[in-house]
Amino acid sequence: MRIPKLQSNQYSWFIRPFLWLLARQQNKILKPAQILGRRPKLFTATLLLYKTINRKTSPIEPYIHALMSVRVAQLNQCEFTIEHDSKILRNLKNRLDKDKLMDWTNCSDFKPKECAVLAYTDAITDTGQHVTDRHVDQLRCYYNDDEIVELTTIISFQNMTTKFNSAFDMCRKTR
């Protein structure tokens, strides 16, 4: 990591319980949370956004959410997130794995809805692409406008977190 984590007692008093809870829920210390914990207001805002995006009442199916998250992590080469979210993806759908997702355009395992979501994810994440009316029209076959806003927020959040992880050299498996 390019920025060292703090000692437990150096974190703000109200950040410590969150770091403890995250470590307990994940069965490991999440290094990105430790780094972000250095800035309590940013940590709190990011955590609130994370909790909002990952709420149980989200209209976006957990499987689609995980599919987008892993795809963004692949495009941004963040092994940390790929490994973390691939476990969720495997638990939700046994028929797909992260290797098939690498070359999703040439894999017949993906349904049209999944292809529409993946094409949109790629267009947002890959700076060489642009979102087109066709991308949104394809999504409208499966989602209303409010749900498309939610999809876009999930993809954007994943881009932010994988870029954050990359900037601090947390993307490699060995870290």
Q: Tens of pLDDT along 45-85?
A: 999 999 999 999 999 998 899 899 999 999 999 988 887 77
Q: What's the predicted TM-score (pTM) here?
A: 0.89
Is the per-residue pLDDT at 138 higher than 90?
yes
Q: Tens of pLDDT along 117-128?
A: 999 999 999 989
Nearest in space to 152 (alpha carbons), one of 26, 82, 65: 65
What's the CATH code, domain 62-167? 1.20.1290.10
Distance, in Å, from the CA atom of 71 to the CA atom of 74, rounded to the nearest integer, reads 5
Task: Give residue 101's pLDDT band: very low, low, confident or very high (50, 70, 90).
Answer: confident
Is the per-residue pLDDT at 96 higher than 80?
no
User: Using only C-alpha atoms, what is the Rg of the chain?
Assistant: 17
Where in the chain are all domains bearing CATH 1.20.1290.10?
62-167
- The DSSP 8-state label assigned to residue 29 in this structure reads -
Region 10-17: mean pLDDT is 93
Measure the CA dihedral 160/165/169/174, to 10°. -140
Using the CB atoms, write b or e for 86-98: b if 16+ within 10 Å: bebbeeeeeebeb
